[in-house]
Structure 1
Amino acid sequence: MWNPWRENLKDTPKESLNWRLWFGVFVFGLMGAARGIDEGLIGTTAELEPFIKKFGLENGSKHDQAETLSNITSMVQMGSILGALVAFFMTDKIGRLWATRLLCCFWVLGITIFLASAATAGNIGMVYAGRFIAGIGIGQTTVVAPTYLAEIAPRAIRGLCVCAFAGAVYIGIMLAYFASWGSSIHISSKTDAQWLVPNSMHLMFAGIIFTLSFFARESPRWLIKVGRHEEALTTLSRLRQLPPDHPYVQSEIIDINDQLNREREATMGTTWLGPIRELFTSKANLYRIQLSIMSQLLGQWSGANSITIYAPQYFEMMGTTGQNEKLFATAIFGLVKFISSILCAFVLIDLIGRKRALSSGITLQLFSMLYMAIFLLIDNKVSDDDSPQTPSQKRAATGAIVMIYFSGFGWALGWNSIQYLINSEIYPLRLRALGGSIAMTFHFVNQYGNSKAVPLMFLAMTTGGTMLFFSCVTALGLIWVWFFLPETTGKSLEAMDEMFNLPWTLIGRKGAQLTRGSGGMAEIMDVEGEKAVATEIEKGHGEQVERVETQRAGEQKV
C-alpha cells in the first residue's frame, strides 16, 4: 500500500507519534481559532440588522459608514499588535503554558466588554475597547502556539503540527460564518441575540483552551533554556513515549543543548539588549528578519485576507444579493477554506515541501485575483439591482464567485500556512520567541492597515482597481518566493544555522540542496551536497562557499 509519509518518517520511531503529542498539537493548534472566529464573525456581524441599528452603521455618508466599519473591524488588529509585541517576553519569561493561560484571560475580558455593549444605547466606545483588549490576547496566540508546536514536533512532521494552528484558523472562520448565517435565519432580527449568540463562541473556545492547557506538557526546549534539564528530559521522554536513554531522545537533547551553548557563548556578558542586538547585527539573522517581514507584507496585501474579513461584501460585489444569500455563500466559502487548510496541513506542506506548496498557492490566488479584477473593471454595475444583466454577464459573474472560492484555496495552500510556519522554524532557540514576536507584530500592523483601508479603497480606487492592486502584490510575492524563500522541510530546528550561513544569494534558491541539515548531533554534507557546492564554486561563488565549508570543518574537528 502506498504511504506518502513513509520516506519522511523513516528515521522517526513510531512511538513518538502518540496521543501525548497529538493532545499538545490539539490544544495549541486550537488557538488558531481565536483569529478565525474574530475574522469570520466581525464581517458577518456587521451584516446583521440589530448590530447595524445598534451602532449606527447606516448613518452618514458612504465614506462615514466605511470609516465606522473599518474602525470596528480593525480594532482587534490594533490590540493584536500590542499582544504580539509582548508575546516574546511573556513566552520566554513564564513559559508557553502560562503565556497561553494569560492570553485567554485577555481574550475573555475583551469579548465580555464587547458583548456588554448590547446593554447600552449603542455605546461604540465599548465595542472599540472590548475588541482592542480581546486583540491583546488574540495577538499573542500567533506567537505562543506556533512556537510551542514547532518545539514539541518531531522534525519529520513539524509542518503538519504547526499547520494545525493555521487549520484551526479556518475551523474558527467556518464555524463563525455558519453561526452568523444560522442566527440570521433562526433568531429574530428585532433582538440583539442575533449577533450576541454567535459572538459567544469566543468565550467557549477561550474556556476550552484555558482548561485543556493544564493537561498539556511544557516545551522541553524552553525547560532547557531556563535550566530545568531533568524536567526537560522527562518531558521529552514522555512526549516521545521513549525511555530517556533512547538514541532518538538523546539526539534531540544534545542538539538543543549544543545550539543553546553556542548561543550563550556567543552572547556571554551582554545585557538584556543582547538578543535584540544579535538579531539585527548578524547577516544570517538579518536574512531571517527579511523572510519574516516580507512574508507578512506580501501575504497580507495579496488581498485574500481582506476577502476573509469582508466576505459578504465581496459576494455582493460579484452579484450575490440578499442578506441570507450573502451569509450562506460566505459560510460555504469558510468550508472551502477549512478543507483546503486541512489538505495542506496533512498532505502538502511536508510532502511536497514548503516552497512548492507556497508557489502553487500563490499562482492559483494570482489567477483568481486577476479574473475578479478584470471582471469588476469591465462590469462595475453587477451588484446594482436596477441594471439588468445579459446571459454572458451572469455567467461571468458566476465565474467571479467561483474565483472567490479558488482564491480561498490558494491562500490556504500558500500564504496562510507559511506565515506561521516559517517564523516558527527559522530562528535559533535563543531568538525564536523574539523573532516570532517581531514577525507577528508586523503581521498585525499590515492586517490592521489592510482591514482599515479596504472599505475606503473600494471607494477611492473602485472595486476593480483594488483587486488589480492585490493582483500585482500577489505577482511580486511569487517572484520573492522563487528567489528568497529557502526550503526547510525535514530540517531540525537546531540545524537551520547551516543553511543561513551560506551566501545570501544561495539561501533561497539552493540552500536546501547545499546543506544536509537533518540534525542528529552533526552537520555533514552528503555526496550530492558536496557536488552542488563544487558546482557553485565554478559559477563564481567559490570564496564565500569555501569560507562556509572551512568554518564547518573547524567546528566538526573541535
Structure 2
Amino acid sequence: MGNPVGPGMWKAALAETPREAFNWRLAFSVLCFGLMGAARGLDEGLIGTTVTQKSFINEYNLKLTKSQNATQLAQRTGNITAMVQIGSVGGALIAFIACDKLGRLWATRQLCTIWIVGVIIYITSNGSYGQVLAGRFIMGLGIGQTTVVAPTYLAEASPRSIRGLCICIFSGSVYLGIMLGYFANWGTSLHISNSTSKQWVDATILHIIFAGLIIIGSFFALESPRWLAKVGRDEQAAANMSKLRKLPLDHPYVQAELIDIHDQLEREREATLGSGFLGPLKELFMLPGNRYRILLGLGCQLLGQWSGAQSITIYAPQFFQTLGVTGSSEKLFATAIFGVVKFVSAIICAFFLVDFIGRKRSLATGIIIQFVAMFYVAIYLTVVPSATTGKLKSASQKHAGTGAIAMIYFSGVGWALGWNSIQYLIGAEIFPLRVRSLGVSMIMCFHFVNQYGNTKAVPQMLVVGAPGLSPNGTFWFFTAVTLLGLGFVWFFLPETVGKSLEGMDELFNLPWHMIGRKGAALTAGKGSVAEAMMLGDTEKVAEISREEQVENVDGKRTGGR
C-alpha cells in the first residue's frame, strides 16, 4: 500500500492536527487577511458596472460621438478600467520589499493607506480624465500588494490540514467584493438619479470601508511566526506559533513546525552563503527546484488570466449585452446575480473541495466546467451571429440564447472552483521561506501584466466588425486556452494538499517530468518532521530531531544568531 495522496494526505493531516489548533485567534487572523481579497473584488465589481452607468458615461465622455468611434471608445473605457491593473504591477513588486522588511502586519497597514489615498483621488476627480487615471493607478499600488501579502501570511499562519481553506478565504473574498460591487452599482442605478455624479461615487466608498476594517483588524492579529524566524526573532516566533495553535510551546505539534522552519532556513542559508544582495534572486532562478516553482506559478497565471472568466467578471454587463440582455438595470441585475453565483462557488471550493479532494482535482473540475461553458457560447455566437444585436428571429434561437446566458454563469462557477482559487493558493505554498515573498511577488506581477493585457484587449475584441477577433472568435479563443490549461494541470501541477510548507523542497527536488504526475506519491511524509509525525515515521522524526539538537548546541539557531 503506497503513500497517501490527495484526500488520503488531507485526512492524515487533519487527524494529526490537535483540535486546539482550530481556534478563534487563528480564525480572526484568517478573516483579517482573507478580507484583503475584497480589494480586487470591489474594483472589478464596481468598475465593470460603473462604466455602464449614465452618470459616469456623461461625466467622462464614454459614448459614441462624431469625434469618437467604437474603437476609440473601447480604448478610453479600457484605459479607465485597466489603470488599477497597471498600478497593481508596481504594487506586486513593492509588496516583496514591504513583506520582507516591514513584516506581514505593517505591510498590510501601509498598503491599506495607499489604497485609501488612491480612492479619494479617484472619487474627487469631478470630470477630470487625468485625475481618474491617477487615482486608479494609486489604488492599484495598494490593491496589487494584497495579492502578495495576504496569501503569504495565510500560508504561513495556517495549519497544513486547512491551509487550502484559509488561503481560499482570500479568493472567496474577491467574490464577496465583486458581489457587493455589483449590487452597490445596481442599487445606486435604481435609487439615485442618473443626473448626479454621486451615483457611482456612493458605491465606490465601499473601498474605504473595507480598507479601514482591515487596518483596524491588523492591530489585533499576530505576526507570521515564519517571518519572525526568518529575521532572527526566534523567541517571538515560537511564542506566536504557540498562540496561533493555542498549544503550549513544548507541544510536539508546535515543536515539529518550529524544527521544520529552522531546518529549512538553515539549509537555505548554507546553499546561498556569500551570495550577497542578489542572493534571493539567484536562489529563485539558479536552483532547479525553485526554477520549476516560478515557471509553474507563471504558467498558472498566464493560462488562468486568458481563459476568459476574468474578462467576463470585469466586463459582465457588456458580455450580457452581447448575448441579448438589454436595458441598463437588467444588465446590472444579471451582473449582480453573476456575482452571487461566483461568491457561492468560491465558498464551496474553500470549504469542501480544495483540501478535501485536493488542488489538482479541484482545478481540473473547474477548468472542465469552464471549457464546456465557453465552448457552448462560442458555438452559439457562431451559429447565431445576430445575437450580438439582440435580434433573435426564432423561438429556438431565443432558447439557445437563454442557454448561452446560463453558460456565462457556469463559466463563473468553473472559474471560482478552479483557476481563481489556485492562482493565489499554489504560489503562496510552494516557495521556500527565504524567497516566498519574492516568488509570490513576481508571480502576481505577471498576473497583473496579463490582466492588464486582457482588460485592454477584450473591449476591442468584442467590437463587431473590428479587425481580428469578433464576439464568437473571442469565445473560441477562450475555449482553446481553457483546453490548453487542462493539459498543463495534468502534466505540471503537483498535488500539495496535506504537505507542510517545509516539505515542499522534497517534492520540487524530483526530476521535472515527475513532479506534476508522481511527485505527491513519491514524497508523501518526507522532507519534514511534521509530515513524518503525521505518517508515523518515528525514525525520520528522531533523525531530524537529533540534527536539530546538535545545531542548537553549536549555537547556529539560537544563541548564535
Instruction: Measure, in 2, the Cα distance between the counterparts of 1:485 and 1:295.
Output: 9
Q: Aligned pairs, how many?
A: 527
1:239 and 1:247 map into 2 onto residues whose CA distance is 15
| 1:151/1:219 contact within 8 Å kept | yes
Tell me, in whole angstroms, the C-alpha distance in 2 between the residues paired with 1:62 and 1:69.
10
Residue 382 of structure 1 corresponds to 387
Describe the SS at the equivalent of 1:191: coil
Superposed CA deviations along residues 202-230 of structure 1, whole A, max 9, x for unmatched, are 11101110111111100000001111111
Deviation (angstroms), 1:520: 4.8
- CA shift, 1:96, in A, is 0.2
How far off is 1:384 after superposition? 2.2
Could you say what secondary structure the match of 1:268 adopts?
A: coil
Matched residue type, 2:102? I
Q: Does residue 1:488 correspond to 2:496, yes or no?
A: yes
Residue number in structure 1 paired with 2:300 = 295
Q: Give me the TM-score of the superposition, normalised by structure 2.
A: 0.91
* Counterpart check, 1:159 vs 2:156: no
Q: Are the aligned partners of 1:321 and 1:383 in contact in 2 as well (CA < 8 Å)?
A: no
Q: What is the CA–CA distance in structure 2 between the aligned matches of 1:526 and 1:348, rounded to whole Å?
A: 21
Q: Secondary structure at the match of 1:10?
A: helix
* Percent sequence identity over aligned pairs: 61
Residue equivalent to 1:412: 416
SS at match of 1:498: helix
Name 2:231's counterpart in structure 1: 226
Gaps of 5+ in 1: 530-551
Partner Cα distance (1:205, 1:517) in 2: 40
Call closer, same or farther: CA 1:526–1:159 in 2, change over 3 Å: closer
Does residue 426 of the first structure (1) align with residue 401 of the second (2)?
no
Task: Provide the C-alpha distance between the structure 2 equivalents of 1:390 and 1:438, rounded to a whole number of angstroms.
Answer: 51
Residue in structure 2 matched with residue 186 of structure 1 by the alignment: 191
Q: Alpha carbons of 1:471 and 1:388: their partners in 2 closer, same or farther (altered >3 Å)?
A: closer
User: Which residue identity lines up with residue 88 of structure 2 in the other structure?
Assistant: S
Structure 2 CA distance for aligned equivalents of residues 520 and 512 of structure 1: 14
| Corresponding residue for residue 556 of structure 2 | none
Alpha-carbon distance in structure 1 between the residues aligned to 2:455 and 2:179? 19
Please give the alpha-carbon distance, in whole angstroms, between the structure 1 residues aligned to 2:525 and 2:473. 45
Check conservation: 1:365, 1:407, Cα contact below 8 A: yes
1:354–1:489 Cα contact (<8 Å) kept: yes
| Cα separation, 2, equivalents of 1:188 and 1:383 | 29
Q: Secondary structure at the match of 2:529?
A: coil
Distance in 2, matches of 1:351 and 1:160, equals 9
Q: 2:62 aligns with which of 50, 57, 64?
A: 57
Give the aligned partner of residue 462 of structure 2. Answer: 458
Are 2:327 and 1:322 equivalent residues in the alignment? yes
In 2, Cα distance between the equivalents of 1:518 and 1:455? Answer: 49
Post-superposition offset of 1:517: 3.9
* Alpha-carbon distance in structure 2 between the residues aligned to 1:501 and 1:212: 39
Mapped contact 2:112–2:211 kept (Cα < 8 A): yes
AA matched with 1:97 = L
Q: Following superposition of structure 1 onto structure 2, how do residues 409-558 of structure 1 map, counting pairs within 5 Å? A: 409-459=413-463, 460=466, 461-517=469-525, 520-521=528-529
AA of the residue aligned to 1:353: G
- Aligned to 1:350, the other structure's residue is in SS state coil
Contact 1:516 1:526 in 2 (8 A): no
Contact 1:358/1:415 (8 A) holds in 2: yes
TM-score (norm 1): 0.92
Counterpart residue number, 2:38? 33
Q: Which runs of 5+ in 2 are unaligned?
A: 1-6, 538-543, 551-561
Per-residue CA deviation, residues 14-47 of structure 1 (Å, 9 max, x unaligned), is: 0010000000000000000000000000010011
Q: Secondary structure at the match of 1:490?
A: coil
Could you tell which deviates more after superposition, 332-341 or 51-60?
51-60
2:87 aligns to what? 79
Shift of 1:519: 6.1
The structural deviation recorded for 1:389 is 2.6
Amino acid at match of 1:381: S
* Matched residue, 1:305: 310
Query: For residue 539 of structure 1, what is the aligned residue in structure 2?
Result: none
Counterparts in 2 of 1:10-409, with a 5 A limit?
10-58=15-63, 59=65, 60-118=68-126, 122-385=127-390, 387-409=391-413
Residue 383 of structure 1, CA deviation: 3.7
| Structural RMSD (CA) | 2.0
Q: Deviations over 1:351-399 (max 9, x none)?
A: 00000000010011000001111111121221424x3431000000000
SS in 1 for 2:300: helix
Q: Aligned letter for 2:301?
A: Q
**Contact preservation (8 Å) 1:382, 1:389:** no
1:290/1:388 CA distance change after superposition, 3 Å: closer
Give the counterpart letter for 2:321 in structure 1: E
1:44-97 Cα shifts (integer Å, max 9, x gaps): 001110100000001410011100010001000000000001111110000000
Equivalents in 2 of 1:518, 1:88: separation in Å?
29
Please give the secondary structure, in 1, of the residue aligned with 2:499.
coil
Deviation, structure 1 residue 525: 12
